[in-house]
Homo-oligomer: A and B are copies of this chain.
Amino acid sequence: MAFDISELFRSGLPTPAAAPFKAFPTYNFVGGHNDAASLPVQALTAAATHVITREGATLATYGLNSGPQGYRPLRDFIASWMKDSAAMADSAEEILITSGSLQALDLVNQLLLGPDDIVIAEQATYGGALTRLSRLGIPYLGVRLDDDGIDMTHLEEMLKRQHQDGKRVKFIYTIPTVQNPTGGVMPLDRRQALLDLANRYDCVIFEDDCYADLLWSGTRPPSIRALDAEAAHSEGRANRVIYCGSFSKSVAPALRIGFIMADWPVLAQLLPLKTDAGTGALDQMVLAEFCKAHFPGHVSRLRATLKDKCDVMIEALEENFGTAAEFTAPLGGIFIWVTLPHDVDTTQLAAAAIKQGVAINPGAEWTVDGQENRNRMRLCFGHPTKEEIRDGVARLAQICHREFGLPERISNTEQI
């Protein structure tokens, strides 16, 4: 019998890729892709020229001259930006550059999660975080969520129950600033309440702030890690919060630059788990050079552009779905979390839509309790042009009407 290498694969692997990549869908309302027209091409080119000319020879060593935590000028920039924007007191030595915030998730999971642990996540949250926990065989619970983030009463009940049952909640995973997918922001008092609960039940808080720079409405509160810093310092204890951020949404996802901010004992233990001998150097160097001169102006322009696209998507939803689509306008970011009537199963809708070139994230993949959220969907407006948003949402409404009879009346655009 002919040799079949797949018989030698270990058991329990995830589903393999179906086929090599061909192209993105025409109406791409999934994924954290950015607005291509906002990509600061000229400034990045200039940054690359300067930094490679000046420091190119350091590429000859692993870790440049900065060691395994990542390019020092980038860590310096992050420390200063996070101080200004989220009241964080961490220095460059408390920062680890990662290959996107996704590697940060993998590293923190590896650091903390053992066989008897449980994680609490927001009921609706980043799908990739849930996939990771499932693959590790870690059970997770979904805490209720409103426009202001975690419902603290529900969280307290959950923690109490787990404690009574002798179960160990290792960490609470939260996206407090521009929550994914709701687009809400957890206000200061809830951040404090979250810390109090974590203190009482001895959990780590894993704060994923990777959309926070895209907040266009209201003021960005201090990060939860910043709020714990002062108490930790005065009590002579470790900060309970491990923080992660990213430049994927604020500059460019393809760069694969994220970061973790944590106390040194955490980073010291993360370093040997990061077995890739460093994150790509040119991405780090060019980004640092760019950010020093241009980051504040760039994100400010980007927020305005995204807010504009968000308005276009809201308009398109109202026009094409009418009252069938319910949502709260996000306070920032690149997505809208839409609730459709109960009869609509968005997993089925997504399957029908992709055949017509429209990609959406079905609610079941973006929530802890997928079954109860089958009538929701996440729509990203960051990457498509305004025209693609208008056309794609109209097309989605038509497909939804065809599949589910909803929305009942659809606007008079091209029938498919």
Interfacial chain B residues near A280, Cβ < 8 Å: 99, 255-257, 279-280, 282-283
Q: Which residues of B contact A68 (CB under 8 A)?
A: 17, 21
14 contacts between A and B (CB under 8 A): A2-B236, A3-B202, A5-B204, A5-B266, A6-B265, A10-B110, A17-B268, A21-B67, A34-B60, A58-B254, A60-B254, A61-B254, A103-B276, A254-B281
Give A contacts to B, CB under 8 Å.
2-6, 8-11, 13-24, 31-39, 41, 44-45, 48-49, 52-53, 56-69, 93, 99-100, 102-103, 106, 110-114, 117, 132, 170, 199, 202, 204, 232, 235-240, 248, 252-257, 263-269, 271-273, 275-283, 286, 383
Name the residue on B nearest A12 (C-beta).
B114
Query: CB distance B32 to A57 under 8 Å?
Result: no
Complex Cα–Cα for A247 and B232 (A) = 44
Residues in B with CB closer than 8 Å to A45 are 48-49, 52-53, 56
| Docked-complex contact A254 and B278, CB < 8 angstroms | yes
Residues of B within 8 A of A24 (CB): 61, 65
Are A21 and B57 within 8 A (Cβ)? Answer: no
- A282 touching B269 by the CB < 8 A rule? no
Chain B neighbourhood of A18, CB < 8 A: 268
Q: Are B62 and A254 in contact (CB under 8 A)?
A: yes
Separation of A103 and B106 alpha carbons in the complex (Å): 14
User: Is B16 touching A271 in the complex (CB atoms < 8 A)?
Assistant: yes
**Cβ–Cβ contact A63 & B279, under 8 A:** no
Docked CA distance A275–B134 (Å): 14
A69 to B103 Cα, complex, angstroms = 17
- In Å, the complex CA distance between A240 and B271 comes to 34
**A4 partner residues in chain B, CB cutoff 8 A:** 237-238
Contact between chains at A63 and B21 (CB < 8 Å): yes
Contact A56–B33 (Cβ < 8 Å): no
Q: Are A52 and B56 in contact (CB under 8 A)?
A: no
Give chain B residues whose Cβ lies under 8 Å from the Cβ of A383: 60-61
| Across-interface contacts of A286 in B (CB, < 8 A) | 48, 282
Contact of A63 among B63, B235, B254 (CB under 8 A): B254
